[in-house]
Amino acid sequence: MVGASLITIVMLPFAVYQLYDLKEQRERRVVNALLMINQRLDVETSRVIRHRLQSLKPQPLLDASISADSLGDYLDTMDSLASLLARNLIDLQSVNEWFGDLIERTAGNSEVRAYIRESQLQDPSYYTGFEKMAQEIARLNPPRRLELRRPKGR
| Interval 117-153: pLDDT, tens | 999 999 999 999 999 999 999 999 887 665 666 666 6
In a domain, 147, yes or no: no
Summarize pLDDT for 29-86 with one digit per residue, the tens: 888 999 999 999 998 889 999 999 998 788 888 888 888 899 999 999 999 999 999 9
Q: Are 100 and 53 in contact (CB under 8 A)?
A: no
Average pLDDT of the chain to the nearest whole number: 85
Q: What is the pLDDT of residue 93?
A: 95
Q: What is the pLDDT of residue 64?
A: 82
Residue 111's domain spans which residues? 2-140
The b-or-e profile of 58-89 (16+ CB within 10 A means b, else e) is: eeebbeeebeeebbbbbbebbbbbbebbeeee
pLDDT band at 3 (very low <50, low <70, confident <90, very high): low
Structurally, how many domains does the chain consist of? 1
Q: pTM here?
A: 0.77
In a domain, 60, yes or no: yes
Phi, psi values for residue 64, rounded to 5°: -65, -30
pLDDT band at 8 (very low <50, low <70, confident <90, very high): low
Phi, psi values for residue 67, rounded to 5°: -95, 170
Q: What is the pLDDT of residue 28?
A: 83
What is the phi-psi region of residue 88: left when phi exceeds 0, alpha when psi lies from -120 to 50, beta otherwise?
Answer: left
In a domain, 49, yes or no: yes
In a domain, 153, yes or no: no
* Higher pLDDT pick, 21 / 13: 13
Q: What is the pLDDT of residue 74?
A: 95
